[in-house]
């Protein structure tokens, strides 16, 4: 993110991001990574560049979180590096994109499981049981 750009995720940058777990943060990063990969594959630079900046912004917000020191931060930055290699390294493997999608899918699944478990436990920060997506649990 450059200094002249306004944050695409201003609400997250304002502090909401710090309340998310690592799995939730990485799941959100993965969503933006997927958007950037699809935009790059479809061709128009007008769609790709904003998606790339949004993904990098979330990577940077996650890496800047003081809770993720040491190996966790190194893993976040390594994932960011691999993401950038997809677009800027001519020697990248064609399977790298699929591998990165699988990597982030694991975080999305973990975040979803944790959210469901918190809802079933009645955690007020995660919603009440039976309120997920407007459906009732059976």
Please tell me whether the overall predicted TM-score, pTM, comes out greater than 0.85 for this model. no
Confidence of residue 99 (pLDDT cuts 50, 70, 90): very high
Give the domain ranges of the chain.
21-129
What would the pLDDT profile of 1-50 be if each residue is shown by its tens digit? 444 566 666 666 667 888 999 999 999 999 999 999 999 998 878 999 99
Lowest-pLDDT range of 8-12, 81-85, 96-100: 8-12
Q: What is the 3-state secondary structure (H, E, C) of the chain?
A: CCCCCCCCCHHHHCCHHHHCCHHHHHHHHHHHHHHHHHHHHHCCHHHHHHHHHHHHHHHHHHHHCCCCCCHHHHHHHHHHHHHHHHHHCCCCCCCHHHHHHHHHHHHHHHHHHHHHHHHHCCCCCCCCCCCHHHCCCC
Q: What pLDDT score does 117 carry? A: 82
Average pLDDT score over residue span 61-75: 95
């Amino acid at each position: 993110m450059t200094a002249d750009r306004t944050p695409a995720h201003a609400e997250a940058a304002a502090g909401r991001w710090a309340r998310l777990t690592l799995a939730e943060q990485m799941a959100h990063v993965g969503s933006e990574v997927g958007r950037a990969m699809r935009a790059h594959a479809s061709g128009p630079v007008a769609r790709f560049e904003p998606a790339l900046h949004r993904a990098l912004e979330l990577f940077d917000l996650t890496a800047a979180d003081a809770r993720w020191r040491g190996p966790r931060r190194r893993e976040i930055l390594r994932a960011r590096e691999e993401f950038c290699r997809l677009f800027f390294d001519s020697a990248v493997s064609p399977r790298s994109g699929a591998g990165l999608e699988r990597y982030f899918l694991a975080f999305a699944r973990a975040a979803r499981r944790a959210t469901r478990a918190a809802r079933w436990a009645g955690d007020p920060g995660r919603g009440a049981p039976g309120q997920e997506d407007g459906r009732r649990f059976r």
